[in-house]
Amino acid sequence: MRHLIFLSLLLLFSCKTQNVNHLADIDGTYLYLNKEEKEIDADMEAMIAPYRKELSKKMDVVLIQNKKALKKGKPNCTMGMWIADLLFDYLNESGLNVDFAVQNYGGLRVNEVGVGAITVGNIFEVMPFENMLVVLETDAEMLQTFCDHLAAGGGWPVSKGIRFSIDKDGKATDIEIGGEALDMTRKYRFGVPDYIANGGSDCAFFKGLDHENSGKLIREIILEDTRMRGEAGEVLNIELEKRIK
């Protein structure tokens, strides 16, 4: 079984992405087989060694230096802010103007990215799923429902552009979009993983809604932005903000 898992990972990293429904939020445990060579028999090791070497060349490429550890947590976290802000900026810079962006908490698959070099492999560990970034447009009532859902879960990663509080009943209150109170007469546009837009993570209220596809995998957006900033000599330095209280 371990051998099959390892070969499946090789296929994941080497095959061309297809436009399919994407898994994006599961419970499980990683098996880092490349760190458990003593448990792999010699014949199998000989077979997978060339692939591991080729994969390592791609995964070990350094993208940027990180000044402060990126951590996953609720209701706010630096890892979530980093990614949600990347999605927000990408959509607005691409002309798909949005009011904010949200990344589902379960879609972040590691608890921390440490200080120092961030590699391609680190990004794949944080975001292993083939999630497309899409844009939803809803009325304020549905947005309230979505924020209530985020609040009930203890808070998900949200970008700049949205803030709210969680009351004692686990509901979202004092919602602000773009610094202004939620307006029940208008519609709002926001970016989410397609997994969420299709009803994943108990977001069935989004099922059936049309969504605008950005044409980009979330992981691709993270990789491209991080590589660009690293090549420009920037250092990643994410400061925690209390966007959800």
- pLDDT (tens digit, 9 = 90+) per residue, 89-143? 999 999 999 999 999 999 999 999 999 999 999 999 999 989 999 999 999 999 9
- pLDDT attached to residue 38: 54
Strands 62-66 and 70-71: unpaired
Residue 14's pLDDT band, with cuts at 50, 70 and 90, is very low
Average pLDDT on 8-35 reads 48
Q: Give the domain ranges of the chain.
A: 2-12+21-236
Residue 24 has pLDDT above 90, yes or no: no
Average pLDDT on 37-64 reads 75
Strands 132-139 and 211-217: antiparallel
- 167-204 pLDDT tens trace: 999 999 999 999 999 999 999 999 999 999 999 999 99
> Which of 1-10, 27-36, 129-138 has the weakest average pLDDT?
1-10
| Residue type at 197 in one-letter notation | A
Looking up tokens 């990614």 gives: 83
Q: What element of type H or E holds 169?
A: none
Cβ pair 150, 160 in contact under 8 A = no
Q: What are phi and psi of 25, to 5 degrees?
A: -160, 95
Residue 37 has pLDDT above 90, yes or no: no
Residue 23 has pLDDT above 70, yes or no: no
Neighbours of 159 (CB within 10 A): 25
- pLDDT attached to residue 208: 87
Mean pLDDT for all residues in the chain: 87
- pLDDT attached to residue 58: 85
Q: Which residues contact 86 (CB under 8 A, 6 or more apart)?
A: 221, 222, 225
- pLDDT attached to residue 51: 72
Cβ pair 115, 68 in contact under 8 A = yes
- pLDDT attached to residue 52: 73
| Omega before residue 75 within 30° of 0, cis | yes
Residue 25 has pLDDT above 70, yes or no: no
Residue 1's pLDDT band, with cuts at 50, 70 and 90, is very low
DSSP assignment letter at 185: T
- pLDDT attached to residue 225: 97
Looking up tokens 């009803």 gives: 199
Hey, what CATH topology would domain 2-12+21-236 get?
5'-nucleotidase;  domain 2 (3.90.780)
Looking up tokens 């979505």 gives: 146
| Residue type at 230 in one-letter notation | G
Residue 48 has pLDDT above 50, yes or no: yes
Q: Which residues contact 90 (CB under 8 A, 6 or more apart)?
A: 133, 214, 216, 221, 225
| Residue type at 181 in one-letter notation | A
- 212-230 pLDDT tens trace: 999 999 999 999 999 999 9
Residue 30 has pLDDT above 80, yes or no: no
- pLDDT attached to residue 57: 79
Runs of H (alpha helix) within 64-158: 78-93, 120-126, 140-152
